[in-house]
């Protein structure tokens, strides 16, 4: 039996509703959970809420309700979001659960009895926001070195965990286990942090200052520091949550996924706590990067917090999941903008994957009575074997390699490499041309089989990232795939799509017009400096990618009556024939352009010119007067080939 895969997210504070940052970590964990289930591993995926501490107490006070009521009101906001995002967590923990509190108290007593918790007076600089003390040398001009809010001097009797005792053991562990903290840059941060002597950790708060917490079992005047309470969730959950998780079977956790903001609490506090409790350490702590919005830190005061509910309602869960994991390498910081999201939806999802599925299903319906044909070995070419090899390499080699390293964006890049190859394959093999020649039937059947089979592999590759899309693809392809099964436990074998009855369905991803609502209200700077003219009119690559440029072959041309400027062209753009009205008639006559290989904009909304419908636009040089048509003179290019 392979080792179980136990993955956790941070447990989020319930001081406010969830935002895209919380969704990011949770979706990333979900992708790994789904992937490992496909591989046939036992998976336990834990998420939950951190309900104690000052932040929650303050939020409840602001709302004028008791802290527990505040937590109970906010909990569904997280749980419903996870449902909307198709998060498949096995466990959901709340730290106000009496069973979790009992485990925390047991650990506290154990450490106290072992002399690893002691009482002492401490004077230091306290940051209310971060709920922690800083020493004189840490404080930066009266401000917290972490959040930069003002700190206040406090002298207090508290209980301390002898964290300093474990510094060398932690260094030794880091040394012996290079993959313990990932990525490498974060490991180096922790090593840097451990260059300074490690101090003991205050693990209590006097009730006179903060009452919302778990009472210390050995002093009822105190509650437990929220981080000591919260971190214990990763093991307490295994003791009592439903679905019979078991600490013996599941611990040590395979991976704690966290944001870079809480690296130290996990890499130093949690690991030393575990050492003190004589519990083995997790295999990996992975700290990912930080999302900003339109280049700015996300914050309530800036009014730019992105509501994941609104994004999912507008664009769907899968588009959001895809974008978050495709846009930036996991581990690095990234910027969220509606423009980039829409760019990805149109370019990768609608024009890429959606187009591949829709043209394949349409062609199978049109040419093979809706049934995926079997290939004819005598009609095979290198194009087919190349496509098969690429699909097999993706599922059996590239995906496992990248996902082992949590390289989500590279996994998706590789997957979309296959999507592109699939679309190019259809462009090159031109099944609509083969369909016209009865002698080409064996080739036609072979081509359509390969396109459908590639999509079957793509279903499996897409599933961890985009579960709804994978289900819909499987449905349209007529594949009875049950994704709750360990479909990749044994290598999947090329050939399974033949015989399936395809069902044409709605577009996987309708194109999104970019003019929708702007990013959430962002206060405008009072006197924004005007942008330089050229800077203002520049576009990003995503804008350019929205324009679908394709190679086309001019089949026929004639003048539009009563116009000396317009020519009516019939062009082959690979997937279909189009009528395009072009304003090139002063420079060219119909006889000049027939047979030419030109470039057209294929995704322009149809328009009427002098009463004649035009379903696209040709590219030509010149301003008011056309000076030359963009053509490919000496290359044999297939109609439909993408121009970038």
Which residues bind to ligand ME8, rule: CB under 6 A? 10-13, 21-22, 24-25, 50, 230-231, 233, 258-259, 261-262, 290-291, 298
List b or e across 124-163, with b for residues whose CB sees 16 or more CB atoms inside 10 angstroms.
bbbbbebbbbbeeebbeeeebeeeeeebeeeebebbbbbb
Q: Which is nearer to ligand ME8, 100 or 596 (CB)?
A: 100
Q: Which is nearer to ligand ME8, 30 or 471 (CB)?
A: 30
Nearest to 354 by CA among 316, 382, 388: 316
- In angstroms, what is the minimal distance from the CB of 173 to ligand ME8? 19
- In angstroms, what is the minimal distance from the CB of 270 to ligand ME8? 8
Q: Which is nearer to ligand ME8, 13 or 107 (CB)?
A: 13
Q: Which is nearer to ligand ME8, 231 or 567 (CB)?
A: 231
Q: Which is nearer to ligand ME8, 21 or 213 (CB)?
A: 21
Q: Which is nearer to ligand ME8, 29 or 451 (CB)?
A: 29
- In angstroms, what is the minimal distance from the CB of 63 to ligand ME8? 17
- In angstroms, what is the minimal distance from the CB of 224 to ligand ME8? 13
432 three-state secondary structure: helix
Give the CA dihedral 584, 586, 588, 591, nearest 10 degrees. Answer: 110
Q: Which is nearer to ligand ME8, 129 or 483 (CB)?
A: 129
List b or e across 314-325, with b for residues whose CB sees 16 or more CB atoms inside 10 angstroms.
ebbbbbbbbbbb
- In angstroms, what is the minimal distance from the CB of 592 to ligand ME8? 57
> What residues contact residue 117 under an 8 Å CB cut-off, 6+ apart?
108, 111, 159, 160, 161, 162, 203
Q: What are phi and psi of 595, to 5 degrees?
A: 90, -10
Q: Which is nearer to ligand ME8, 16 or 592 (CB)?
A: 16
DSSP string, 475-526: HHTT----TTS-TTSS---TTTTTTPBP---S-SS----TTSPPSS--PPPT
Given the DSSP bridges, would you call strands 255-259 and 607-609 parallel, antiparallel or unpaired?
Answer: unpaired
- In angstroms, what is the minimal distance from the CB of 410 to ligand ME8? 19
Q: Which is nearer to ligand ME8, 221 or 261 (CB)?
A: 261
CB atoms within 10 A of CB 246: 11
- In angstroms, what is the minimal distance from the CB of 258 to ligand ME8? 5
Q: Which is nearer to ligand ME8, 262 or 406 (CB)?
A: 262
Instruction: Quote the Cα angle for 170-176-178, to 5°.
Output: 95
Q: In angstroms, rounded to a whole number, what is the distance separating the alpha carbons of residues 6 and 176? A: 22
- In angstroms, what is the minimal distance from the CB of 255 to ligand ME8? 13
342 three-state secondary structure: helix
Q: Which is nearer to ligand ME8, 50 or 407 (CB)?
A: 50
Q: In angstroms, rounded to a whole number, what is the distance separating the alpha carbons of residues 181 and 189? A: 10
Nearest to 570 by CA among 550, 603, 601, 593: 593
- Tokens coding 519: 């990013």
- In angstroms, what is the minimal distance from the CB of 124 to ligand ME8? 21
- In angstroms, what is the minimal distance from the CB of 290 to ligand ME8? 4
Q: Which is nearer to ligand ME8, 75 or 362 (CB)?
A: 75
- In angstroms, what is the minimal distance from the CB of 466 to ligand ME8? 20
Q: What string of H, E and C letters represents the secondary structure of 269-329?
A: HHHHHHHHCCCCCCCEEEEECCEEECCEECCCCCCCCCCHHHHHHHHCHHHHHHHHHHHCC
Residue with nearest beta carbon to ligand ME8: 21
- Tokens coding 398: 């590239």
Q: In angstroms, rounded to a whole number, what is the distance separating the alpha carbons of residues 505 and 370? A: 13
Question: Contact at 8 Å (CB) between 497 and 479?
Answer: yes
Q: Which is nearer to ligand ME8, 261 or 558 (CB)?
A: 261
- In angstroms, what is the minimal distance from the CB of 352 to ligand ME8? 26
DSSP string, 148-212: --B-EEEEEEEEEE-GGGGHHHHHHHHHH-TTSEESHHHHHHHHHHTTSPPPPEE-EEETTT--S
Question: Contact at 8 Å (CB) between 555 and 571?
Answer: yes
Q: Which is nearer to ligand ME8, 417 or 520 (CB)?
A: 520
- In angstroms, what is the minimal distance from the CB of 234 to ligand ME8? 7
- Tokens coding 306: 């992105």
- In angstroms, what is the minimal distance from the CB of 49 to ligand ME8? 8
Instruction: Quote the Cα angle for 27-11-50, to 5°.
Output: 150
CB atoms within 10 A of CB 613: 13
Q: In angstroms, rounded to a whole number, what is the distance separating the alpha carbons of residues 552 and 574? A: 7
Q: Which residue has the tokens 């999802």?
A: 349
């Amino acid at each position: 039996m392979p080792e179980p895969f136990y993955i956790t997210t941070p447990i989020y504070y319930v001081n406010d509703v969830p935002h895209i940052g919380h969704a990011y970590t949770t979706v990333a964990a979900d992708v790994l959970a789904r992937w490992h289930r496909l591989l046939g591993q036992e998976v336990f995926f834990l998420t939950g809420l951190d309900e104690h501490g000052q932040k929650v107490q303050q939020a409840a006070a602001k709302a004028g309700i008791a802290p527990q009521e505040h937590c109970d009101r906010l909990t569904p906001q997280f749980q419903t979001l996870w449902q909307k995002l198709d998060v498949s967590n096995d466990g959901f923990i709340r730290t106000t659960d009496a069973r979790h509190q009992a485990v925390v108290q047991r650990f506290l007593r154990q450490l106290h009895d072992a002399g690893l918790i002691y009482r002492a007076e401490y004077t230091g600089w306290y940051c209310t926001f971060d709920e922690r003390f800083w020493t004189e040398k840490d404080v930066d001009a009266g401000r917290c070195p972490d959040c930069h809010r003002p700190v206040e001097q406090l002298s207090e009797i508290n209980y301390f965990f002898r964290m300093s005792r474990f510094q060398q053991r932690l260094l030794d562990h880091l040394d012996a286990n290079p993959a313990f903290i990932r990525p490498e840059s974060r490991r180096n941060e922790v090593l840097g942090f451990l260059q300074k002597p490690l101090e003991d950790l205050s693990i209590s708060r006097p009730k006179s200052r903060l009452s919302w917490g778990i009472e210390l079992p050995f002093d009822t005047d105190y509650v437990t520091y929220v981080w000591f309470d919260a971190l214990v969730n990763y093991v307490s959950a295994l003791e009592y949550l439903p679905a019979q998780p078991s600490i013996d079977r599941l611990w040590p956790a395979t991976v704690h996924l966290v944001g870079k903001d809480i690296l130290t609490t996990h890499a130093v506090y949690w690991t030393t706590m575990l050492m003190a409790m004589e519990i083995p350490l997790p295999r990996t702590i992975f700290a990912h990067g930080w999302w900003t919005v339109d280049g700015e830190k996300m914050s309530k005061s800036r009014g730019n917090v992105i509501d994941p509910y609104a994004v999912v309602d507008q664009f769907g869960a899968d588009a959001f999941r895809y974008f978050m994991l495709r846009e930036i390498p996991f581990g690095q910081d990234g910027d969220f903008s509606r423009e980039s999201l829409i760019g990805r939806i149109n370019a990768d999802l609608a024009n890429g994957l959606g187009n591949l599925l829709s043209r394949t299903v349409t062609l199978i319906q049109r040419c093979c009575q809706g049934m995926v044909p079997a290939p004819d070995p005598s009609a095979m070419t290198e194009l087919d074997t190349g496509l098969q090899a690429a699909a097999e390499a993706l599922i059996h080699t590239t995906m496992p390699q990248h996902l082992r390293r949590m390289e989500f964006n590279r996994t998706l890049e590789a997957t979309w490499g296959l999507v592109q190859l699939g679309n190019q394959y259809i462009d090159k093999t031109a099944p609509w041309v083969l369909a016209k020649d009865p002698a080409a039937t064996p080739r036609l059947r072979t081509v359509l089989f390969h396109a459908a089979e590639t999509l079957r592999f793509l279903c499996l590759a897409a599933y961890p990232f985009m579960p709804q899309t994978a289900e819909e693809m499987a449905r349209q392809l007529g594949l009875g795939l049950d994704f709750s099964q360990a479909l990749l436990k044994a290598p999947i074998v090329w050939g399974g799509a033949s015989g399936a009855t395809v069902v044409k369905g709605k577009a996987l991803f309708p194109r999104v017009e970019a003019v929708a609502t702007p990013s959430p209200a962002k206060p405008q700077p009072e006197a924004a400096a005007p942008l330089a003219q050229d800077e203002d009119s520049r576009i990003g690559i995503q804008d350019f990618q929205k324009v679908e440029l394709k190679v086309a072959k001019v089949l026929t041309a004639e003048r539009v009556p009563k116009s000396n400027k317009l020519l009516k062209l019939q062009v082959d753009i690979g997937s279909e024939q189009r009528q395009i009205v072009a304003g090139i008639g002063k420079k060219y006559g119909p006889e000049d352009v027939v047979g030419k290989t030109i470039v057209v904009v294929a995704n322009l909304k149809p328009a009427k010119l002098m009463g004649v419908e035009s379903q696209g636009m040709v590219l030509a040089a010149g301003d008011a007067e056309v000076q030359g048509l963009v053509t490919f003179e000496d290359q044999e290019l297939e109609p439909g080939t993408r121009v970038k």
